[in-house]
């Protein structure tokens, strides 16, 4: 029997080591690789296509949502399981919207974690709370069949800080450079970027930039 191939993406080495030990102790699964950042993950995953990717949602550089969006475009057969400290509804909804197969919390039991891997490998969904597989499938079907309405600038209310960050991303700055320029933490910049994606209802900052360019919204103040 072929083992379930699992790839780990998390910026904490000790945490990854614990997951590797747990997963490799199971007879039906094995860790095929790991990465500490989204950028490193995409580079590594360009050469392999694991069955399941365990993805942290907050990481240095590009976050887990953006990483997963790019990954699924390149490897649509791979299943994404978000494994996060955060249970905010916006995070769970965003993960579902971008095509994740599951979302569980890091304080869950080993049994639930391993069951989540096996469940999504079998083509089902595994989300925290009372979100059933049927509801998730209905949500995904509606998302895929619905026509995407054209975004209107009047419908999107951005803060001055969010507008500033969009311009800085458009100018080629990464999260660390933006944080240093604005005197903020990287986590704060990541939170702003998450809010921007939620407001535009897209999965990557590149889609935001593309829209803002087409709407001529990137003129410097």
Same domain, 18 and 120: yes
Same domain, 33 and 140: yes
What pLDDT sits at residue 219?
62
What pLDDT sits at residue 147?
40
Say if 180 falls within a structural domain: yes
Whole-structure pTM value: 0.63
Q: Which of 93, 111, 145 is the last residue of a domain?
A: 145
What pLDDT sits at residue 127?
81
Same domain, 9 and 62: yes
Q: Which residues pair with 54 in a beta bridge?
A: 8, 81
Same domain, 93 and 12: yes
What pLDDT sits at residue 75?
85
Say if 103 falls within a structural domain: yes
Give the domain extent around 206.
153-214
Say if 18 falls within a structural domain: yes
Same domain, 11 and 45: yes
Which parts of the chain register pLDDT below 70? 1, 89, 129-155, 219-221
Say if 183 falls within a structural domain: yes
Q: Which of 88, 120, 145 is the last residue of a domain?
A: 145
Say if 140 falls within a structural domain: yes
What pLDDT sits at residue 130?
52
Inter-axis angle of helices 160-170 and 186-200, to 10 degrees?
Answer: 100
Q: Which of 117, 145, 173 is the last residue of a domain?
A: 145
Say if 139 falls within a structural domain: yes
Helices (H), the chain: 13-24, 38-45, 64-74, 89-97, 110-121, 133-145, 160-170, 175-182, 186-200, 205-214
How far apart (Å, rounded) are the C-alpha atoms in residues 62 and 92? 18
Say if 219 falls within a structural domain: no
Q: Identify the CA nearest to 126 among candidates 150, 158, 96.
A: 96
């Amino acid at each position: 029997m072929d083992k379930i191939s699992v790839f780990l993406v998390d910026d904490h080495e000790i945490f990854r080591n614990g997951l590797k030990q747990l997963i490799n102790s199971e007879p039906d699964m094995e860790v095929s690789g790991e990465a500490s950042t989204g950028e490193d993950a995409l580079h590594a995953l360009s050469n392999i296509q694991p069955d399941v990717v365990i993805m942290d949602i907050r990481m240095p550089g590009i976050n887990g949502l953006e990483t997963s969006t790019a990954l699924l475009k390149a490897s649509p057969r791979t299943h994404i399981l978000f494994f996060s400290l955060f249970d905010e509804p916006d995070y769970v909804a965003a993960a579902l919207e971008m095509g994740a197969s599951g979302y569980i919390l890091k304080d869950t039991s080993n049994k639930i974690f391993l069951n989540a891997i096996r469940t999504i490998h079998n083509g089902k969904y595994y989300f925290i709370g009372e979100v059933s597989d049927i509801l998730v499938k209905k949500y995904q079907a509606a998302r895929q069949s619905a026509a995407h309405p054209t975004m209107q600038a009047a419908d999107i209310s951005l803060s001055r800080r969010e507008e500033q960050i969009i311009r800085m991303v458009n100018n080629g700055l990464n999260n660390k450079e933006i944080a240093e320029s604005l005197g903020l933490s990287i986590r704060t910049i990541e939170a702003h970027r998450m809010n921007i994606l939620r407001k535009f209802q897209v999965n990557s900052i590149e889609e935001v930039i593309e829209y803002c360019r087409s709407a001529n919204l990137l003129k410097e103040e």
